[in-house]
Each structure stands twice: as C-alpha cells, then as structure tokens.
C-alpha cells in the first residue's frame, strides 16, 4: 500500500518553531510529526510513501532519506509553488496512477484510528475519515436551573470533523485541478456526484497540530503513551 503525505506548508501559526523547519518536522516526544505518521501507517500495511515537500524541503529529505531507517520506501515530490491540497495530489499523479487505491494524509495529523478499516471500506473514488468535534471549553449540564454535571472538553458527537486522512482510487485524478483545495473545491463536487464515502471513527485519539497549544498537548500525550500503546 502506498501513501502521499502533504508536507509542503509553512506552518506560519507555529512560528518561530517553523522558522527553520517545515511543520511536519517539528519534534514531538523525540520524533518529528511525519515520523510518527509513517510509523502509524506502516502498522497498517503502508510501506511506500511519497512526500509532497515545499517549504524547507531539504530538512525532510535530510531526515527521511530513502526511508530505509524506518523500514519503508520514501520518495519526494517537490512543490515549486503552493498548489493547494488538490493541486498537490494531482502533481503526484505519475507516482500513483497505477495504484488501485492509496492513502492521502495531511502532514500535521497525529491519530491512532484504524487505518486498515478505512482502507478496507474504500469502495468509492474517495473515502474520508471523520472524528467527533471536541469542545474547546468545559460543558455544564443542567436540569433547567441547577448545574448537575461538568464535562471537561467533551466530544460533541452531533458534529464530525474531517480527520485529514483519506483513501482515494486513481479515478480521483480525473477530478483534480492544477491548483486548488481538496476541502473547498473538490470534495463538495464529489459529494454532489455521489463519489465520496465517509467513515466515522469514535473514541480514538486525533489531533491536528495547528497551534502552540496543540503542539504542547499532543507532545505530552505522545510522551505519556496516550496515543500509541
């Protein structure tokens, strides 16, 4: 199984941490984000990776090399200018055009959901993973006038987030732009055409590293063994 990791962004909201490295190279509990991702996917049968690199791409190449030290095969697709997530996937077409299906992952996600399940349940052009919305605040339950319970940052299971990990078939390339966003430009079109499935992953660990708070909390969780047992 093969995967494309989108690792070309600058990570501006995490500066100065990203002044000298791309966001996927930020070290958390002793390893860069992208290394945690590769090790997680490897456990689910992914053994070949294409890294879409842009900002400070040399740091990714220097650290990952051919992938031999991680027991996988790694190659790189260099992004000369920002293409958006849709354009980025399309730019790697030559590496995936012969694959029946492949994984696409945003390069800033830490999760432990069952990737094998997402791969096995892919029956459409694209299958998106979903995770419940976690409240950023504590919730107070009442019986009308009295406070009866407190819940610290609970999962709000009426709403489901795009978890940033997808399985796609090679037919996806027929719908991708040279530049543009998967999330804004492509996914709504696929939904309208009935070409996209969604798989919910409940009670799993999931974090998108978008802020200093995300970085600090997820680093602690990784270090404490709360993500990967």
Which pLDDT belongs to residue 137?
67
Length of the chain as a residue count = 229
Mean pLDDT, range 78-93, rounded to an integer: 85
Average pLDDT rounded to a whole number, residues 98-108: 94
> CA-to-CA distance for 76 and 83, rounded, in angstroms?
16
The average confidence (pLDDT) of the chain is: 89
Q: How does pLDDT run across 4-39, given as a tens digit for each residue?
A: 999 887 777 888 878 888 999 999 999 999 999 999
Residue 217, both tokens:
């909390």
Taken in order 209, 214, 215, 219, is the CA torsion positive or negative? negative
Give me the percent of the chain exceeding a pLDDT of 90: 58
Q: Which pTM was predicted?
A: 0.88
Q: Is the peptide bond between 16 and the residue preceding it cis, with omega within 30 degrees of 0?
A: yes
- Give the catalytic positions in this structure: 153
What residue spans of the chain are helical by DSSP H?
33-42, 57-64, 84-91, 93-96, 115-120, 187-192, 212-223
Q: How many distinct helices (H) and strands (E) make up the chain?
A: 7, 13
Overall average pLDDT of the 30-49 stretch = 95
Going along the chain from its start, the domains and CATH numbers come out as 2-131+160-223 (3.90.550.10)
Please report, in angstroms and rounded to a whole number, the separation of the first and last CA atoms in the chain. Answer: 24
Cα separation, 103 vs 42, whole angstroms: 12
130-to-68, 114, 118, 164, 181 alpha-carbon distances in Å: 32, 12, 10, 8, 18
Q: Does position 155 have pLDDT exceeding 90, yes or no?
A: no
- The answer to whether residues 42 and 71 touch, using CB atoms and an 8 Å cutoff, is yes
Please give the Cα distance from 76 to 61 (Å, whole number): 8
| Residue 199 β-bridge partners | 129
Tell whether the model's pLDDT for residue 136 goes beyond 70. no
Q: Rounded CA gap, 101 and 119, in Å?
A: 8
């Amino acid at each position: 199984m093969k995967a494309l990791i989108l690792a070309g962004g600058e990570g501006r909201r995490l500066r100065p941490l990203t002044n000298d490295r791309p966001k996927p190279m930020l070290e958390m509990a002793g390893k860069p984000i992208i290394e945690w991702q590769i090790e997680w996917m490897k456990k689910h049968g992914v053994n070949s990776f294409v890294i879409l690199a842009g900002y400070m791409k040399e740091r990714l190449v220097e650290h990952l090399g051919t992938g031999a030290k991680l027991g996988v095969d790694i190659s790189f697709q260099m992004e000369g200018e920002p293409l958006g997530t849709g354009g980025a996937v399309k730019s790697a077409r030559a590496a995936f055009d012969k694959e029946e299906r492949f994984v696409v992952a945003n390069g800033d996600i830490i999760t432990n959901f069952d990737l094998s399940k997402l791969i096995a349940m892919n029956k459409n052009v694209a299958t998106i993973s979903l995770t419940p919305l976690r409240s950023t605040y504590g919730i107070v339950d009442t019986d009308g006038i009295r406070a009866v319970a407190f819940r610290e940052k609970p999962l709000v299971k009426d709403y489901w987030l795009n978890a940033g990990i997808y399985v796609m078939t090679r037919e996806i390339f027929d719908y991708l732009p040279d530049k543009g966003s998967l999330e804004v430009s492509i996914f709504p079109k696929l939904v309208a055409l009935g070409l996209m499935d969604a798989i919910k992953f409940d009670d799993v660990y999931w974090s998108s590293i978008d802020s200093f708070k995300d970085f600090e909390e997820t680093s602690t969780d990784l270090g404490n063994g709360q993500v990967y047992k």
